[in-house]
């Protein structure tokens, strides 16, 4: 199942965009997903999940966080079932800006799997990524925290080592490389070097036209994937 998602691009506005602005970029990304065939995940604040899901057709709408909470008590927490019903098809877990304990991460991955919500689990080093891989998330983002938002891309050696270490634990996990990704060429390189997908925040939102940048990134990834399969 996961292999069908390759290559994938995660458009991650975090909390910079919400409401109408988030929807506008989501609609543009939706068209790009249809045109390129690249799997596009689109993250949004919890309150916008249903809005974006109901106004797009080709995106995997992605929640920024989730908890292992069961229906019942839990005032102020993030219930998996509510995200699923609102239209979330995936969820980010353990991002550097919202880390989880090991127990909570493992339990939440299990809850997501039971609800058929794809998981994008984050790690800040190759070693941590290998450990998180034992929890069997669908996608594993190995991202050095000190490169987030800097525009400095992790080198090819980092990509190779990360992919190798994660696939050695579980070859079915898709590996996302996203540190400092800001251009279409960066995205192309991730796929050529063996990554399954990538994504970005500042690299997209700081572009002269974020919608055009998403399109350029997706087109570059589609080209890279095609070249790999025609060698």
Tens of pLDDT, residue by residue over 20-65, are 999 999 999 999 999 999 999 999 999 999 999 999 999 999 999 9
C-alpha pair distances (Å), 38 with each of 23, 47, 58, 110, 143: 19, 26, 10, 27, 22
Q: Would you state the pLDDT for residue 184? A: 96
Is residue 19 very low, low, confident or very high in pLDDT (cuts 50, 70, 90)?
A: very high
| 225 and 192 Cβ atoms separated by less than 8 Å | no
Is residue 168 very low, low, confident or very high in pLDDT (cuts 50, 70, 90)?
A: very high
CA distance 206 to 57: 26
| 139 and 118 Cβ atoms separated by less than 8 Å | yes
> By percentage, how much of the chain surpasses pLDDT 90?
86
- Which CATH code of 3.20.20.70, 3.20.20.140, 3.40.50.970, 3.40.640.10 fits the domain covering 2-230? 3.20.20.70
Is the pLDDT score of 154 beyond 80?
Answer: no
Is the pLDDT score of 77 beyond 80?
Answer: yes
Is the pLDDT score of 148 beyond 70?
Answer: no
Identify the CA nearest to 80 among candidates 72, 69, 95.
Answer: 69
Q: Would you state the pLDDT for residue 101? A: 97
Is the pLDDT score of 150 beyond 70?
Answer: no
In terms of Cβ atoms closer than 10 Å to its own Cβ (0-12, 13-18, 19+), residue 171 is: exposed
- Continuous segment of H or E residues that includes residue 175: strand 174-176
Which position has the higher pLDDT, 229 or 206?
A: 206
- Continuous segment of H or E residues that includes residue 142: strand 139-142
From first CA to last CA, the distance across the chain in angstroms is: 24
The whole-model pTM stands at: 0.94
Average the pLDDT over 180-194 and give the result: 94
Active-site amino acid positions = 95, 143
Judged by average pLDDT, the poorest of 25-39, 77-91, 105-119, 131-145 is 131-145
In the chain, domain spans: 2-230
| 42 and 17 Cβ atoms separated by less than 8 Å | no
Query: 211-226 burial string, b = 16+ CB within 10 Å, else e?
Result: bebbbbbbbbbbbbbe
| 16 and 22 Cβ atoms separated by less than 8 Å | no
What pairs with residue 61 in β-bridges?
A: 42
């Amino acid at each position: 199942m996961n292999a069908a998602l390759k290559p994938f691009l995660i458009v991650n506005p975090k909390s910079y965009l919400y409401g109408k602005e988030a929807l506008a970029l989501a609609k543009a990304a939706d068209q790009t997903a249809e045109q390129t065939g690249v799997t596009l995940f689109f993250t949004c604040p919890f309150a916008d999940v249903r809005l974006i899901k109901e106004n797009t057709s080709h995106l995997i709408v992605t929640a920024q966080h989730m908890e292992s909470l069961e229906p019942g008590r839990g005032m102020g927490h993030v219930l998996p079932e509510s995200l699923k019903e609102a239209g979330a098809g995936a969820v980010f877990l353990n991002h550097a800006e919202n880390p989880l304990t090991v127990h909570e991460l493992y339990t939440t991955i299990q809850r997501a799997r039971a609800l058929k919500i794809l998981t994008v689990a984050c790690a800040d080093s190759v070693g941590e990524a290998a450990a998180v891989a034992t929890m069997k998330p669908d996608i594993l983002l190995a991202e050095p925290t000190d490169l987030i938002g800097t525009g400095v891309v992790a080198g090819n050696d980092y990509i190779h080592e990360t992919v190798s270490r994660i696939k050695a634990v579980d070859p079915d996990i898709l590996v996302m490389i996203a540190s400092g990704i800001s251009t279409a060429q960066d995205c192309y390189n991730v796929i050529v070097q063996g990554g399954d997908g990538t994504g970005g925040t500042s690299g997209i939102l700081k572009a002269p036209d974020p919608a055009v940048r998403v399109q350029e990134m997706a087109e570059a990834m589609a080209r890279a994937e095609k070249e790999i399969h025609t060698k």
